[in-house]
C-alpha cells in the first residue's frame, strides 16, 4: 500500500490558536492516526507561517521585532498541539533554514524557466490578505475576509506568470473530478478559472524598502518573497524537498487539508506553482467549512476566539475532539456553542458510550469474577452484533478515505447503539437470577466485551485517550501498538476468555455548563 501524508495549513503567527486551527489539526491528527493503524507509512505535517506584512505589523504593535514575535507565537502553537496530544511528525516554520532553502530553490527554477518577470502594478492592497484585491474580494469597500479597507499602492514587483497554467489546471479539474473535495469546492475553482474572478499573474515579491521581513529573492537582493508563495512551499520543504532522497515518495501520497477561505491559494496558486516547477500535483485538496459563533466566522482577525486549552480544562480534550468531528459535516459550515458541546457530551459520550462501558464491566465483575467469560453458543442477537461490528469497521474505513469524518464517527456510534440495545434485550442482570441461564449470561457479557474491544479500536483515532482507557480496562492495553484497522476491529473472537478486566471510574461523567456561560 502506498504511503500517506497529511498536511494542515501552516498557521499564521499573528495570534494564538483558536477553534478553527484546532478543528483542522484534529481532523489531520485523526486521519494520521487512522492511516497508521491501517498499516500505512504515514507522515503528518503542521507548523507556522511567519513572514509578511501582518507579522511585521503585529510585532510593531507589541513593540517587538518580527523574529522574536514569531518565535513567541510559534512556540505557543507547538506547545498547544503537544499538550493536546497531536501526533505530528514535523512542525515546520517558514523561518527554518531548510524551508528557506526550498523556497529559493523553486524561485530559481521558475525564474530560469522564464515564468517570473518584473512589472509595475497599481491596485488596492489588503494587509490582512497580504495581496492586492479585486472587486470580487470586497464588499462595501471593505475586504470580505478582514472587514477593513484596503490601501492604494503602486509598486514595481516580480510576477509569477501563473496564467500560463490556467488551461492545464482546468484540464486537471475536468480529468480528475475527485482531486478537490468536496465537489462544491472543485466547482468553485472551475468557476474562478472560467469567470476570471480577478485571477491573473501573481505578484510574488515585496520591495525591502517597504518590507524586509521575508525570504530574499535569489535573483534580486532588493526584494523578499510574497508570503503566500513562500508559505505554500512548506508542504514540499516539510517532506524533505529538494534534497532528501525520499521526498518524492512522500509527496506522492500528500493530502492537503484547508479551510475554504484559502481555497484560491491552494486550488489555483499552488498547482500552478507546482506545474511551473515540474513537480507532480498533490493527491487531494480537502476543503472544510467555517466554525461560526453568533453567525459569524470564528477567526483571529475578528477576535471571537474559542480556546482549545479552555475547552480541554472544562470538558477534557477527547470530548472536545469528539464534538468537532461529529458536529461538522466536512465541507459545510457549523456553529459552535457550549450548550451544543455539553449536549453532545452527555448524550453520546456519557449516556451512550460511557454507560455501555460501565454496564458491561460492572456486570463482568459481578457475574464473571472480573474476567472475560467463556461464551456459549451464539444466537441471532449475538450474530447481529458481530455483523454490526464488521459493518462499522468497513464503513469507517470507507468514510475516512473519502474525507467524511462525521460519517465515520456516526458508524461507530451506531455500533455503540446496537450493543446497548443488545444488552437491554438480553438483560443479563435478570437472567443471572434464573437457574440454568448462566451460559447465556456468559455469552452476553463476552459479546459485549468483544464489541467494546472493537469500539475501542475504532475510536482510537477519534478520541485516543478514552479509547486507550477502554482497551486497558479490557486487559488489552498493548493492543494499540499492533492492531490494524479495519481488520482487527471486525475480527471476532480475538478477546481471550479469562482475561482480567477492570471496572474503573465513569469514562465520561455527565457535565454541565459553567455558570458564567449560562
- Name the band, by pLDDT with cuts 50, 70 and 90, for residue 298: low
- Name the band, by pLDDT with cuts 50, 70 and 90, for residue 517: very low
- Name the band, by pLDDT with cuts 50, 70 and 90, for residue 199: confident
Reply yes or no on whether 297 is catalytic: yes
- Residue 297 pLDDT: 60
- Residue 295 pLDDT: 62
Reply yes or no on whether 146 is catalytic: yes
- Residue 516 pLDDT: 56
Q: Using H for helix, E for strand and C for coil, what is the string for 138-207? A: EECCEECCCCCCCEEEEEEEEEECHHHHHHHHHHHHHHCCCCEECHHHHHHHHHHHHHCCCCCCEECEEE
Please pick, among 18, 35, 256, 288, the residue that the annotation labels catalytic.
18
Are 463 and 413 members of one domain? yes
Are 172 and 24 members of one domain? yes
Are 285 and 399 members of one domain? no
Task: Tell me, yes or no, whether 88 lies in a domain.
Answer: yes
- Residue 467 pLDDT: 98
- Name the band, by pLDDT with cuts 50, 70 and 90, for residue 299: low
- Residue 386 pLDDT: 97
Domain boundary at 305, 326, 360, which? 305
Q: How would DSSP label each residue in 40-105?
A: --EEEEEEEE--SHHHHHHHHHHT--HHHHHHHHHHHHHHHHHHTT---SEEEETTSHHHHHHHHH
Are 296 and 239 members of one domain? yes
Q: What average pLDDT does this structure show over 415-430?
A: 97
Please pick, among 54, 129, 225, 449, the residue that the annotation labels catalytic.
129
pTM of this structure: 0.93
- The domain in which residue 198 lies consists of 4-305
- Residue 14 pLDDT: 80
Domain boundary at 305, 324, 357, which? 305
| CA 373 remoteness from chain centre | 39
- Name the band, by pLDDT with cuts 50, 70 and 90, for residue 176: very high
Percent of residues, the chain, with pLDDT higher than 70: 96
Are 363 and 221 members of one domain? no
Q: What does the alpha-carbon distance between residue 428 and residue 434 come to, in Å, rounded to a whole number? A: 10
Task: Tell me, yes or no, whether 179 lies in a domain.
Answer: yes
Reply yes or no on whether 256 is catalytic: no
Helix (H) / strand (E) element for 254: namely: strand 254-259
**Each residue's pLDDT tens digit, 345-360:** 999 999 999 999 999 9
Reply yes or no on whether 449 is catalytic: no
Supply the mean pLDDT for the chain: 94
Q: What does the alpha-carbon distance between residue 457 and residue 34 come to, in Å, rounded to a whole number? A: 10
- Name the band, by pLDDT with cuts 50, 70 and 90, for residue 159: very high
How many residues can be counted in the chain?
Answer: 518
Please pick, among 35, 111, 256, 297, the residue that the annotation labels catalytic.
297
- Residue 472 pLDDT: 98
**Each residue's pLDDT tens digit, 119-155:** 988 888 888 787 778 777 888 899 988 888 999 988 8
Reply yes or no on whether 143 is catalytic: yes
- Name the band, by pLDDT with cuts 50, 70 and 90, for residue 54: confident
Please pick, among 35, 54, 111, 126, the residue that the annotation labels catalytic.
126
**CATH number where 260 lies:** 3.40.50.620
Are 279 and 237 members of one domain? yes
Q: What average pLDDT does this structure show over 88-112?
A: 98
- Name the band, by pLDDT with cuts 50, 70 and 90, for residue 282: very high
**Position with higher pLDDT, 518 vs 110:** 110
Are 344 and 484 members of one domain? yes
The structural domain count of the chain equals 2
**Position with higher pLDDT, 304 vs 507:** 507
Please pick, among 99, 300, 448, 449, the residue that the annotation labels catalytic.
300
Task: Tell me, yes or no, whether 323 lies in a domain.
Answer: no
Q: What average pLDDT does this structure show over 90-113?
A: 98
Are 264 and 360 members of one domain? no
Q: Does residue 1 register a pLDDT over 50? A: no
Task: Tell me, yes or no, whether 15 lies in a domain.
Answer: yes
C-alpha cell at 241: 524537498
Please pick, among 101, 146, 172, 208, the residue that the annotation labels catalytic.
146
Q: Which residues pair with 153 in a beta bridge?
A: 123
In this structure, is the dihedral angle defined by the CA atoms of residues 118, 120, 126 and 132, taken in order, positive or negative?
negative
Are 268 and 391 members of one domain? no
Are 277 and 407 members of one domain? no
Are 341 and 300 members of one domain? no
- Residue 53 pLDDT: 87
**CATH number where 466 lies:** 1.10.730.10
Task: Tell me, yes or no, whether 455 lies in a domain.
Answer: yes
Q: Does residue 363 register a pLDDT over 70? A: yes
Task: Tell me, yes or no, whether 514 lies in a domain.
Answer: no
Reply yes or no on whether 172 is catalytic: no
Reply yes or no on whether 288 is catalytic: no
Task: Tell me, yes or no, whether 507 lies in a domain.
Answer: no
- Residue 134 pLDDT: 78
Are 364 and 237 members of one domain? no
Task: Tell me, yes or no, whether 481 lies in a domain.
Answer: yes
Rounded to 5°, angle at Cα 176 from 174 and 177: 75
Q: Does residue 86 register a pLDDT over 60? A: yes
- Residue 518 pLDDT: 41
Q: Does residue 474 register a pLDDT over 70? A: yes
- Name the band, by pLDDT with cuts 50, 70 and 90, for residue 293: confident
**Each residue's pLDDT tens digit, 217-270:** 999 999 999 999 999 999 999 999 999 999 999 999 999 999 999 999 999 999
Alpha helices for 286-316 (secondary structure H): 308-315
Amino acid at each position: 500500500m502506498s504511503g500517506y501524508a497529511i498536511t494542515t495549513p501552516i498557521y499564521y503567527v499573528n495570534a494564538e490558536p483558536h477553534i478553527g486551527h484546532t478543528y483542522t489539526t484534529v481532523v489531520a491528527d485523526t486521519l494520521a492516526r487512522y492511516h497508521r493503524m491501517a498499516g500505512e507509512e504515514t507522515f503528518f505535517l503542521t507548523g507556522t507561517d511567519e513572514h509578511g506584512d501582518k507579522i511585521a505589523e503585529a510585532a510593531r504593535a507589541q513593540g517587538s521585532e518580527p523574529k522574536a514575535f514569531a518565535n513567541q507565537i510559534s512556540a505557543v502553537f507547538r506547545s498547544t498541539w503537544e499538550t493536546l496530544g497531536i501526533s505530528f511528525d514535523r512542525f515546520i516554520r517558514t523561518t527554518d533554514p531548510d524551508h528557506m532553502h526550498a523556497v529559493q530553490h523553486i524561485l530559481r527554477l521558475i525564474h530560469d524557466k522564464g515564468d517570473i518577470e518584473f512589472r509595475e502594478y497599481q491596485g488596492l492592497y489588503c494587509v490582512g490578505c497580504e495581496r492586492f484585491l479585486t472587486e470580487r474580494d470586497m464588499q462595501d469597500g471593505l475586504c470580505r475576509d478582514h472587514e477593513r479597507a484596503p490601501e492604494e499602492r503602486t509598486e514595481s514587483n516580480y510576477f509569477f506568470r501563473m496564467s500560463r497554467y490556467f488551461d492545464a489546471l482546468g484540464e486537471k479539474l475536468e480529468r480528475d473530478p475527485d482531486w478537490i473535495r468536496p465537489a462544491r469546492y472543485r466547482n468553485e475553482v472551475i468557476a474562478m478559472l472560467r469567470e476570471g474572478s480577478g485571477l491573473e499573474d501573481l505578484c510574488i515579491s515585496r520591495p525591502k524598502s517597504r518590507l524586509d521581513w521575508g525570504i530574499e529573492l535569489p535573483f534580486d537582493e532588493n526584494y523578499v518573497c510574497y508570503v503566500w508563495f513562500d508559505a505554500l512551499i512548506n508542504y514540499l520543504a516539510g517532506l524533505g524537498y529538494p534534497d532528501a532522497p525520499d521526498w518524492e515518495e512522500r509527496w506522492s501520497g500528500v493530502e492537503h487539508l484547508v479551510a475554504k477561505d484559502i481555497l484560491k491559494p491552494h486550488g489555483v496558486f499552488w498547482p500552478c506553482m507546482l506545474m511551473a516547477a515540474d513537480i507532480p500535483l498533490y493527491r487531494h485538496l480537502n476543503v472544510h467549512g467555517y466554525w461560526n459563533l453568533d453567525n459569524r466566522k470564528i477567526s483571529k482577525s475578528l477576535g471571537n476566539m474559542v480556546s482549545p486549552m479552555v475547552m480541554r480544562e472544562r470538558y477534557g480534550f477527547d470530548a472536545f475532539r469528539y464534538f468537532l468531528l461529529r458536529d461538522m459535516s466536512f465541507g459545510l459550515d457549523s456553529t459552535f456553542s457550549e450548550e451544543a458541546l455539553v449536549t453532545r457530551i452527555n448524550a453520546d459520550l456519557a449516556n451512550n458510550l460511557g454507560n455501555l462501558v460501565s454496564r458491561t464491566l460492572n456486570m463482568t465483575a459481578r457475574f464473571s469474577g472480573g474476567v472475560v467469560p467463556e461464551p456459549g453458543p451464539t444466537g441471532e442477537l449475538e450474530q447481529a452484533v458481530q455483523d454490526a461490528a464488521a459493518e462499522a469497521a468497513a464503513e469507517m474505513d470507507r468514510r475516512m478515505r473519502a474525507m467524511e469524518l462525521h460519517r465515520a464517527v456516526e458508524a461507530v456510534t451506531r455500533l455503540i447503539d446496537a450493543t446497548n440495545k443488545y444488552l437491554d434485550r438480553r438483560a443479563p442482570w435478570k437472567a443471572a437470577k434464573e437457574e440454568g441461564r448462566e451460559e447465556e449470561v456468559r455469552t452476553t457479557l463476552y459479546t459485549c466485551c468483544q464489541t467494546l474491544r472493537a469500539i475501542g479500536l475504532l475510536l482510537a483515532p477519534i478520541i485516543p485517550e478514552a479509547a486507550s482507557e477502554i482497551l486497558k480496562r479490557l486487559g488489552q492495553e498493548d493492543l494499540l501498538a499492533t492492531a490494524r484497522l479495519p481488520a482487527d476491529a471486525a475480527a471476532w473472537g480475538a478477546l481471550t476468555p479469562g482475561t482480567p478486566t477492570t471496572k474503573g471510574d465513569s469514562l465520561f461523567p455527565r457535565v454541565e455548563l459553567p455558570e458564567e456561560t449560562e
